[in-house]
Structure 1
Amino acid sequence: MVQQCSEQMSGDNLGIALPTMSTTPSFDWRQEWRELKEFLKKPRRGRIASAPFSQTWRRFLLVFGIDIAIVLFVTLPLDSILDEWAGLESKLEINGKIALYGIVFAPIIEELVFRAGLRKAGYSLFIGPIFVACFAGSMLVVGALATILMSIAVIDKIRMRWVPEGNGRRFARGRAFIRHYPYVFWLYAIGFGLVHLGNFYSSNGRDYLLVFAISAQLSAGFLFAYLRLRQGLLSSILLHSLENGLFFALEMMSG
């Protein structure tokens, strides 16, 4: 009984679970769609119940299908409008090296930065923001942010050394992180989209419209994170790579 209570109060098991998951071998597409909508409304970090490959590949296919639908019915129409209104241009010069980086290396790096530590409070609050700031390209910003966050982390670590092991304050911090976890999830998803603003520019100076050019990246930030928390980091890396590969293929065909 004591061991059971201890397990329930430990790190990743603090009273959280993902939305109700199917435990039967069959895969219910409608149920999965409902779970996805519920999760995006109120994200939860939780350990993933093991599922057979027959379920995981169908979930992967569903998320990929939603991702492609958003690109076809939202991103491409918006890009056409932005071409007219903002003179939308891409800074990326598509070639073999860029495609290789985008399909192989970028998914690994970006998934490690934006989604690998989504379950860890220490990473999400102190380490992740520093790595995300690196995408801004300003070492001054990175240095300042790193100094502030690391100072807070060190002070908190020292302060907690004086808190007795059984003190409820230790668990209170974990419960606070879980309670506010949706904001952590949403901020990382939105941040993933925003760092891609640097891929575009407006040829007529209407840079304020460029935020509409990253609709695909914004939606991908949410969908990749959902798949990462449901099936693990490898699934989100594969989906990320597949989406980038499709993007480069379309760019090469149209260019």
Structure 2
Amino acid sequence: MTDNRQSPARSKTRFRSEIVDFWRFIRHPHPVSRLPGRAASSGLVADWWPGITPGRLFAWAALLWAVNLFALGPVAVAAAGMAGVTHRLDPANIPWLTAVLWAPLVEEMLFRYGLRRPRQALWLIPAMLPVVLWGPKLWTGLLLAAFVILACWGARHRAEPLKGWDTNWRRYYLNHYGWVFHLVALTFAAVHLTNFVYGKVPYWLLPLLVLPQWLTGLVLGWMRVRRGIGAAMLLHATFNAGPILMIWAIMRWVPAAAS
């Protein structure tokens, strides 16, 4: 009898190996497998349990912060200066609860949950529109909770999940998965254009304003497919928390620099 259990050395991948895996994945996206060691007793647990150590989570967040701060961020700032664009965010009144809790949950369910659950995306994406348009309120929070419960119910383990379904659509989806993945990342970035106040802006400058969000969307999409939606939400929250903590620290201890 063959022992299928993985040893800790084999099940844990190096961070460098994950970066290589990410690069290969975005070149040829596919929703077939998870990272080594991510197998779980059911599809629901595998999808929602993050299964990532705090160190690895922080490593990915730090990599995104560094690339956005030193490479993509300056490009976005230069483009904003050329176009006379200003950001809507008020450093003195940062909605930290929205950024750290609400946005990761809503945006991951809206943009990336369907990357592994395309059938659920057919009802979940249109259903999420009121939650997105009206923002964090009591009734939208209850509605979001109901959608998450329904999504979990739909992801429960079934012996014959595709019984009675025409699977031609599934083959078509898999054949065009690369287009779907990258269109989701681009849409995620494009939505963040609403964070700015515009004057007369050349259209060709608009993509430059959201280069950091585009890269972040690619990483979150890879994380969602290869580790699960729980890991993507956790990384999203961690990534958003970093700049907020930095702005808070500057406002508290170096207010002159903030002004």
TM-score normalised to structure 2 length: 0.66
1:53-109 alpha-carbon deviations (Å, 9 max, x no partner): 9x9335534432331222112233113313431122111224556121111111111
Instruction: Write the letter of the residue equivalent to 2:117.
Output: K
Q: Which runs of 5+ in 1 are unaligned?
A: 1-21, 138-164
1:212 and 2:208 aligned? yes
Instruction: Write the letter of the residue equivalent to 1:239.
Output: L
1:98 and 2:95 aligned? yes
1:225 and 2:221 aligned? yes
CA RMSD of aligned residues (A): 3.3
1:216-236 alpha-carbon deviations (Å, 9 max, x no partner): 111111101111112111211
* Alignment partner, residue 200 of structure 1: 196
1:248 and 2:253 aligned? no
1:156-198 alpha-carbon deviations (Å, 9 max, x no partner): xxxxxxxxx999x923222111111111111111111111100
Moved more, 31-40 or 93-102: 93-102
CA gap 1:201/1:132 in 2 versus in 1, 3 angstroms = farther
Return the alpha-carbon distance in structure 1 between the equivalents of residues 94 and 9 of structure 2: 43
Q: Which runs of 5+ in 2 are unaligned?
A: 1-7, 40-48, 134-161, 251-257
Select the residue among 12, 21, 34 that pairs with 2:20.
34
Higher RCO (C-alpha under 8 Å, 6+ residues apart): 2
Aligned residues: 204
Return the alpha-carbon distance in structure 2 between the equivalents of residues 237 and 72 of structure 1: 21
Instruction: Write the letter of the residue equivalent to 1:38.
Output: R
1:46 and 2:32 aligned? yes
Give the secondary structure class of the aligned counterpart of 1:43.
Answer: coil
Give the Å deviation of 1:239. 1.2
Select the residue among 59, 63, 66 that pairs with 1:66.
63
Return the alpha-carbon distance in structure 1 between the equivalents of residues 239 and 123 of structure 2: 27
CA gap 1:192/1:132 in 2 versus in 1, 3 angstroms = farther
Give the secondary structure class of the aligned counterpart of 2:166.
Answer: helix
* Alignment partner, residue 157 of structure 1: none
Instruction: Write the letter of the residue equivalent to 2:15.
Output: W
Q: Is the 8 A contact 1:43 1:181 kept in 2?
A: yes
Return the alpha-carbon distance in structure 1 between the equivalents of residues 183 and 90 of structure 2: 29
* Alignment partner, residue 84 of structure 2: 87
Return the alpha-carbon distance in structure 2 between the equivalents of residues 201 and 64 of structure 1: 27
Return the alpha-carbon distance in structure 2 between the equivalents of residues 136 and 102 of structure 1: 13
Return the alpha-carbon distance in structure 1 between the equivalents of residues 175 and 22 of structure 2: 19
Q: Return structure 1 stretches of 4+ with deviation > 4 angstroms.
A: 131-137
Q: Is the 8 A contact 1:135 1:195 kept in 2?
A: no
